[in-house]
Amino acid sequence: MSGNPRPVFRFAPSPNGELHLGHALSALTCFSQAQEAGGRFLLRIEDIDIARSRPEYVQGIFDDLTWLGLSWEEPVVYQSQRFDVYREAAGRLRAMGLLYPCFATRSEIEAAATGVSDPDGAPLYPGLWRGRPEAEVRRHQAEGTPYALRLDMAAAVRIAAGRLESALLTFREDGQEVEAAPERWGDAVIVRKDTPTSYHLAVVVDDAWQGVTHVTRGRDLFAATGLHRLLQVLLGLPEPAYRHHPLVMDEEGQKLSKSARHTSLRALREQGMTREQVISRIGLAG
Ligand code: GLU
């Protein structure tokens, strides 16, 4: 082997609904970037949400991508098969003193919220369980109360700044340095109550493990990238280059969602829409 390793791109859908036009834009953009760069194109099934993921949605992803004319390397990676790896990564953050158990329910968080929202529009976590006495934590654990593990954001940002020897955490977006600003998430959930990871932890662990060099995804994940960059620094993982493409809107100017079945790729295909029409609808040249 000689020369530069090939760049690695990936499309990473969650199989908890049918893919829509926004996914088509992500997948086609990643795929054509990979082709232009002579790179590799990987598919990762982000099925950490065991309760909502369904095999028929996984099959739907394969069908939709094939219909769009895409091909990907085998084997496809399934996050549900990698829970041990995420547990290990969470364990490392915990050993650094950066994660703490949070037993709060959604309604307790809402009741204590300050009116400030996180970038997803949820109430910013008001730190209810940060710094609680160890005995209280142990008592709740012994009672079997479910808990999430949250990042102590202030401590995490401090450690990252020490590692980088810079107070400004950034990521690379299309060749520009962009401020990461992970503190907008507050003490983010790193391990959910119902599954041994969160989207944020699994995505940074897997992008690094799969050698992903270029992450292309929708603008709705722009703020998440700031948190991902922080986790990469804390876990000593390499930094991919990022691109966030504009979102595809519906006729009313609303963001498309997986629950809107009438805009799913499958529904559009069944209505007779062609691949070329999809490409033109999402604003890509055919
Ligand atoms: N699984 C995420 C989703 O379907 C996308 C993850 C990513 O591209 O980083 O929204």
Percent of the chain's residues with pLDDT above 90: 90
The more confident residue out of 3 and 121 is 121
Query: Which residue from 82, 201, 217, 244 has its CB within 8 A of the most atoms of ligand 1, so it is best to mutate?
Result: 217
Please give the average per-residue pLDDT across 187-209, as a whole number: 98
pLDDT in tens, 168-183: 999 999 999 999 999 9
Q: At what angle do helices 55-67 and 21-36 cross, to 10 degrees?
A: 60
pLDDT of residue 218: 96
Residue whose CA is closest, atom 7 of ligand 1? Answer: 12
Atom of ligand 1 nearest to the CA of 46: 1
Q: Any idea which of 1-5, 85-89, 123-127, 260-264 has the lowest mean pLDDT? A: 1-5
Tell which residue, 35, 8, 6, has the closest CA to residue 241.
8
Q: How far apart (Å, rounded) are the C-alpha atoms in residues 125 and 129?
A: 10
Instruction: Please check whether residue 42 is in contact with residue 8, taking contact to mean a CB–CB distance below 8 angstroms.
Output: yes
Ligand 1 midpoint to CA 68 (Å): 18
Residues paired with 102 in a beta bridge? 148
Position in ligand 1 atom list of the atom nearest CA 13: 4
What mean pLDDT is predicted for residues 238-259?
84
- pLDDT exceeds 90 at position 224: yes
**Rounded to two decimals, what is the model's pTM?**
0.95
At 64-95, the pLDDT tens digits run: 999 999 999 999 999 999 999 999 999 999 99
CA dihedral of 265, 271, 272, 275, whole degrees rounded to 10: -10
Give the CA dihedral 205, 209, 215, 220, nearest 10 degrees.
Answer: -20
Average pLDDT over residues 139-167: 96
Average pLDDT, rounded, for the chain = 95
Residue 261 has pLDDT above 70, yes or no: no
46 Cα: distance to centroid of ligand 1 (angstroms):
7
Residue ranges lining ligand 1, Cβ < 6 Å: 12-14, 46, 203, 217, 221
Is 9:31 a contact under the CB 8 Å cutoff?
yes
Residue 38's SS3 state is coil
- For the residues 213-231, what does the mean pLDDT come to? 98
Quote the ligand 1 centre to 218 CA distance (angstroms): 8
Q: What is the pLDDT of residue 202?
A: 98
Å from CA of 13 to ligand 1 middle:
5
Q: Is 72 helix (H, G, I), strand (E, B) or coil?
A: coil
Q: How far is the CA of 33 from the centre of ligand 1 (A)?
A: 17
Tell me the CA–centroid distance for residue 200 and ligand 1, in Å. Answer: 10
pLDDT at 285 over 70: no
Burial 155-184 (b: 16+ CB within 10 A, else e): bbbebbeeeeeeeebbbeeeeeebebbbbb
Task: Give the position, in ligand 1's atom list, of the atom nearest the Cα of 207.
Answer: 9
Ligand 1 atom at minimal distance to the Cα of residue 224: 9
Q: Which residue has the higher pLDDT, 261 or 149?
A: 149
Show the domains of the chain with their CATH numbers. 1-80+249-286 (3.40.50.620), 82-199 (3.90.800.10)
Please determine, for residue 191, whether its predicted confidence score (pLDDT) is greater than 80: yes
The SS3 call for residue 81 is helix
Residue 32 · residue 239 · CB < 8 Å: no
